[in-house]
Chains A and B, each alone.
Chain A
């Protein structure tokens, strides 16, 4: 530090270069995957020109299409169920009067985030098999709904906390009953957060691998479980292509959730 420059604690020498390296660490491997997916050579690491042919091969693969279809059906059901449950839960936690059980409710809702995935996976498997429930897709829909709840709940709860109760109080002063208040004031203000929560739940469900692998049975294979099976057989251009598609879907949805959630900031 020279005396000519005033002290600036916001600037640490070398720190921006270091941070750039960390971001390179985060994103370079993903970029490599995407580049390989467009490589026309079957030998993944030898570049032989740009090509879409592995994406075409993936699109024509019936097993991949079936798995993707399963994944989307499960994600849609889990998203609707978990978002509805999470919206009600967030309203209760932020606007309700919980005389007792608030900390228990908060801890319980955080459980899917706290318990390691492998534990959730095998305990869910034990539970369904103990009950004799072998319903393939339905089992997966239930399991996904459970772990999507906290992801849908967090943005809704944050939004309720941010916007405070003033607008709702104004509505109450104008003699709106509880239902009208919800329909005309709270819900419209919550729509961006509910949409953001729903998109997050959808992404989390679509991406889930471990729980799906343990709970799914023949005929209810999801896309990540199918991709894992392909990966076990070795590195192929098809794996790179389908992984790139799933990667792109996640990024697009998360960016959408961010944009949607940021709208409607006035309250």
Chain B
């Protein structure tokens, strides 16, 4: 295939994604420096107000007052995304190792079972936890039935339920990359280590973990990025009271009608996520060397 035809074939993909996805990202950056139109959209003049809003609030007399509530939401989102990543790593690594140890036939079935949740609607997967956690839900019902509690426990609408929803949503993203690096492990390494009297813990620490690390790194990026911008877990399981960046951004384009602030928040999320991905690919290249 000649170069001309090659570029002709790749052009539609690049044009469609370039125009309808990358260009809007830059447009959002431009919008973040505009003034909010109370009816939605933006107007002149250009300002830094949207970014000032992260730390300050404009008082009635137009003076800036320090108000960290939005900064706290951003920090809480980062904290929950990191916690989600850590929990997914701890939960997912043993599962990936278990799958690697199975026969090829069983591996295929287990891999399908890990992948399937990814293709199931996140809205529905998140909603299932409302059925379990709400006051009249399955968990409280079972506890009441067992006579452990008389009043329902507040299982829903807190950081714990949001974290649970995030882990539930993104755990497959951690298992799969770790599996794909561990799959290439040479069994002779482990047998040699055992012959040299290495304990199970030593085999894990000295052989399995170093080999799993690139996969864990890839999994960590794949979990962290969408967890940081997640909307459904904080909205449905946090009850909209416990905001995260994702739900805060969405609010700016619906009820709050502050498009510049929403655009500024989303610009920050994009920059953080792209930075994480760039660092990861740099590190992956280093490890390959």
Taking CB atoms and an 8 Å cut-off, the chain B residues in 77-97 that contact chain A are 91, 94-95, 97
Contact with B along A173-190 (1 / 0, CB 8 A): 000001000000000000
A116 touches B228 (CB 8 A): yes
- B57 beta carbon closer than 8 Å to chain A: no
User: In the assembled complex, how far is the CB of residue A256 from the closest CB belonging to chain B, in whole angstroms?
Assistant: 11
Shortest A255–chain B CB gap in Å is 8
* Known contacts A119-B229, A122-B28, A126-B28, A109 near B253 by CB under 8 Å: no
Task: Please give the distance in Å from B176's CB to the nearest CB on chain A.
Answer: 13
* CB nearest neighbor in B for A209: B123
* Chain B residues numbered 100-135 whose CB sits less than 8 Å from any CB in chain A: 101-102, 110, 112-117, 119-125, 127-132, 134
Contact present for B131 and A85 (CB under 8 Å): no
Chain B's interface size range is 35 or more
Interface residues of A in 227-267 (CB under 8 A from B): 227-228, 231, 235, 239-240, 243, 246-247, 250-251, 253-254, 258
CB distance from B277 to the nearest CB of A (A): 6
Q: Contact: A25 with B168, CB < 8 Å?
A: yes
8 Å CB interface, B136-188 against A: 136-138, 141, 168, 171-172, 187
Once the chains bind, are B13 and A122 in contact (CB under 8 Å)? no
| Contact present for A146 and B16 (CB under 8 Å) | yes
CB distance from B70 to the nearest CB of A (A): 16
- In the bound complex, do residue A32 and residue B28 qualify as a contact, i.e. CB atoms below 8 Å apart? no
Q: Does A12 contact B (CB under 8 A)?
A: yes
Flag if A19 contacts B24 (CB, 8 Å): no
Picked from A120, A231, A250, the residue with its CB within 8 Å of the CB of B120 is: A250
A146: chain B residues at CB < 8 Å are 16-17, 20-21
Cross-chain pairs A/B with CB under 8 angstroms, 13 sampled = A18-B95, A23-B113, A26-B168, A89-B10, A89-B12, A96-B10, A109-B13, A111-B22, A115-B25, A118-B250, A123-B266, A207-B123, A227-B124
Q: Which B residues are closer than 8 A to A by beta carbons?
A: 1-3, 5-7, 9-10, 12-14, 16-18, 20-25, 27-28, 31, 40-41, 91, 94-95, 97-99, 101-102, 110, 112-117, 119-125, 127-132, 134, 136-138, 141, 168, 171-172, 187, 190-191, 194, 200, 203, 225-226, 228-232, 236, 245-246, 249-250, 252-253, 259, 262-263, 266, 269-270, 273-274, 277
What would 5 more interface pairs be, CB under 8 Å, given A10-B102, A92-B9, A96-B7? A11-B101, A92-B6, A98-B10, A123-B27, A146-B17
Question: Which A-B residue pairs are the 3 nearest by beta carbons?
Answer: A116-B229, A96-B6, A29-B128
* Interface, chain A (partner B; CB < 8 A): 7, 9-12, 15-16, 18-19, 22-23, 25-27, 29-30, 32-33, 36, 43-45, 84-86, 88-89, 91-93, 95-99, 105, 108-109, 111-112, 114-127, 129-130, 142-143, 145-147, 149, 153, 178, 200, 203-204, 207, 209-210, 214, 224, 227-228, 231, 235, 239-240, 243, 246-247, 250-251, 253-254, 258
